[in-house]
Amino acid sequence: MILVKDNRCDFCGTCVAVCPVDAIELREADISIIHDTCIDCDICVWVCPIKVLSSDKPEEVKND
């Protein structure tokens, strides 16, 4: 599951632009992950310029 750290997002939309399944909702100052749609690919975690997004996957799974 992708997690959003509270109060740190800059709402720049970079994660939205790379999400392959359109699972991120972003408004003026509000971001949410649509968990039913999310495929846990972690691309959003990688691209975020300020590390607001994180994955709750254990490290060994991430390295597969």
Partner 1 sequence: MTDYDVIVVGGGPAGSMAAEAAAKGGAKTLMLEKDRDIGYPVRCGEGVGAAGLRKFIEPDPKWIATTISKVRMRSPDNTQVDFGLANAGYVLHRRLFDYELANRAGQAGAEIQTRAYVDGLIMENDAVCGVKYQYMGEQRSLRAKLVIAADGVESRVGRMAGMRTATKLKDMDSGYQATVGNIDVDQEMIDFYNGDVWAPGGYLWIFPKGDGMANIGLGVNGKYAHECHPHDMIHGFLDKYFPKARILTSVCGGIPVAKTLKLITSNGLMLTGDAARMVNPVTGGGIITGMVGGQLAGQVAAESIQSGDVTVSGMADYPKRWHKAEGKGHEAFYRIAQGIAEITDDQLNKIAHRLVKTPSDKLSLLKIFTAVAREKPGILLDVTRAFAGV
The mark string for 2-41 relative to partner 1 (x by CB under 8 A, - otherwise) is --------x-xxx-xxxxx-x---xxx-------------
The nearer residue to partner 1, 20 or 60, going by C-beta atoms, is 20
Distance between CA atoms of residues 59 and 64, nearest Å: 9
How deeply is 19 buried, as exposed, middle or buried, from its count of CB atoms within 10 A (0-12, 13-18, 19+)?
buried
Residue 58 touching partner 1 (CB under 8 A): no
Output phi, psi for 11, to 5 deg.
60, 40
Binding site for partner 1 (CB under 8 A): 10, 12-14, 16-20, 22, 26-28, 43, 45-51
